[in-house]
Structure 1
Amino acid sequence: MTSQQQQLHDEILEKVREYYQLIHAPAQNAPFEPGVTYLNYGGRVFDEREMVNLVDSALEFWLTSGRYTREFERRLAEYLGIQSALLVNSGSSANLLAFMTLTAPELGERRIARGDEVITVAAGFPTTVSPLLQYGAVPVFVDVEPETANIDVSRLEEARSDRTRAVMLAHTLGNPFELNAVRAFCDKYRLWLIEDNCDALGSRFAGRLTGTWGDIGTSSFYPPHHMTTGEGGALYTDNPQLYRIARSLRDWGRDCRCNSGEDGVCGRRFTGKFGKLPAGYDHKYVYSRFGYNLKVSDMQAAVGCAQLEKLPEFGEERRRNFRFLFEALSDLPELELCRSYPESDPSWFGFLITLSPGVKFTRTDLTRHLEEHRIQTRNLFAGNLTCHPCFEPLTEGKEYRIVGELTATDRIMNDAFWIGLYPGMTEEKLAYMAETIRNFCRKSK
């Protein structure tokens, strides 16, 4: 870049900083008006650094995965303390990639084949389970604990069969499931563990970050999550073989490991012999598996690099906001609040509330009241996934299996919801939400 080009580049980025201060900073710091300002459950929290990175990438105009992507993957792996991370286009794609990686033939007897079983829960988000059904594996659903909304680990042994190959679970709303028990169970029977860490980036269990206990962890960077790239997600692992498989699957199934724009990194671009292809067939167009294109643009990665710097601070703000709401609402007999294990240090995604048995109002009564007062609410995702229309064509015992009764899962489906506590919340907003809930409970007695 010439000195004139560099000067113009720097002037553009300085204007971006000015634009942020003029346009976005006032909007992010707008005064709160109770009952007027709409309180979203989550959203983007950013400053000029994200916008500068985004425009810097746009000026470079590489567009597909590039230097910002490689920087993001390196820094995310460093943050997690693991070997490898792959940036993908969504958390759902990360779950798809994680599961499909475990179906690779080179994993031998441990590979997941069609008809094999994977233990999971129905109280969660559908794309934790969708890849299993789409591939032809059999999800085995067990109930959750009402206190934590996470898997009831006492049901694991009952759920296992000779066809069980893996456990795939999410940390509900950032609250870690009982990782000691689940990890021990997987080790005992040589099962794969996939941690859906999409709602829990920055959470810890027994001092160790969630997402790093499993053979593979996944994240989502959709705007309401712990950090954002707009759309986006990641897969991460300490297993070099799983990383190589996942990278190939993400990049169309290529055998070649060159980055976009690179040629001949392996040193055998025109010298190899692959399958029944002619000798010397261009290695960049050799496909060792049936893959996808799950990459992101470098502009998304550029935003992510700035967000990663804020991730620890975001986590502390989420913890602080959870404590505020818990202290403000824990004395209400009409409500049961989510709790965590003593070994857990959750980086909470949302604040889960379940109606106590015998109350004189329904979940919808309360959530409608909150929405009328400009407070956004959400159910706990699918509630009970097996009750949704997508399961109607499926046959229990063939396409999926339920172990025992999903009693707590059904209670979550009927009686639970959550509200936001993301870093964009102020104490004033949290107090308004808590008081609105308290007023409703007082009037409903």
Structure 2
Amino acid sequence: MTDSRIRLLTFCALLSAVTATPAAHAKSIAPPPAGRVLLGVDRLITYHLPQLQGKRVGLLTHKAGVTGTGRPTVEALLDRGVDLRALFAPEHGIYGAVEGGFDVTNTTYRRTGIPVHSLYGKTRRPTPKMLAGLDVVLVDLQDVGARFYTYISTVCYLLEEAAKAGVAVWVLDRPNPIGGLRVDGKTLERHRLGFTGIYPMPLLHGMTMGEMAWMLNEEYGYKARLKVVPMQGWRRDMFFGQTGLKWVAPSPNLPTWESTLIYPGLETIGLHGFLAEGRGTPYPFQLVGAPWVKDPEGLARRLSDEGLRGLSFIPCRFTPAADALKGRRCGGVRMIVKDARRVDPMRIPLKILKVLKIMYPGAPGWQDAARSWSVSLGLPGGAGHLLLPGAEDELLRKWRLGAREFEATRKKYLLYKVDPGPRQVD
């Protein structure tokens, strides 16, 4: 086996680190207690803390970085005597209170005075000075399964810089809240890569943070000393609501795990102030509307007739307290997830645009917004294109074709099955 292959920490008879390969099959791992998925951080604490003895440790985490019992990971490590020398904060900050897109400042951790280095401010990469004096950086971040959610980019930059500094990286794995089977949406072109799209993949990638880190480390050739502490009892067909874990918002506008089903699609069409997505209301990424929507009841009826399974639509009026439409009264709908298994996240934006174009063809902003939709959705000619017979199915077909290369790559790095049955270790 090559040195660049990921080190996968599993609970085997000797409780030792083993090397995982894409073709590996496995010994049985006991089910988690009381039907609850055992997180990577829980397995680290239960089985692998001795491997941190004598090491100077950093931790990249945030508000949602908690154990299965809800104890913040940083506190759980301090309680157990881990030599925690530095913390690193992603977008939204270590306490998860900073709104998206706003810089996070350097600070200190309130209990101990440990420095908290911002990776979403003047720099988005850990500097050599930040990494100096560390042997390993642990990563405990809750991702949401969407390409433009920036935590995977932060981890990617960490891998690159840690490799240069000779610092190991251990990813404490967590569930993808919308499951590990959905690969959907337009694939990002290589010339558009950046912090909100670190790898040419579809909008929904269907991977956990540990799997993603493994893929990025290998495909970009960073050769970081990467280890993943996997979960126990998680299956690819699981939604977060099936894990037995309590949801902690990974960012201010995702207060429920169900909102992560709606967020990816809604974010693609809500940019530039054309539509309100519910930011600054009690129901972020559950509401959609605009000041020019005068008939919320009609909008709800039409969307209900569009075959968006697993969702119900309630007419409403709301006034956002954030973003471009702040303070403006909007008509729209609230979307409620009734059956997560039936929800198709990437059909949601297409149906919303189609119905709004039918009902409000003269609304302001269609032309300007269309330019962003050509990038995010691959939608030619704006929302009017969706009114053509077969246009929606053709767009979905193009997405599937565009995802083929990524799916072939992704397959090599999947650590979990649909069936949680026996895994093998070498």
TM category (shorter chain) comes to 0.3 to 0.5
TM-score normalized by structure 1? 0.34
Higher percent of residues as helix:
1
Structure label with greater radius of gyration: 1
> Which structure's relative contact order is higher, taking Cα pairs within 8 Å and 6+ residues apart?
1
TM-score, with normalisation over the residues of structure 2? 0.35
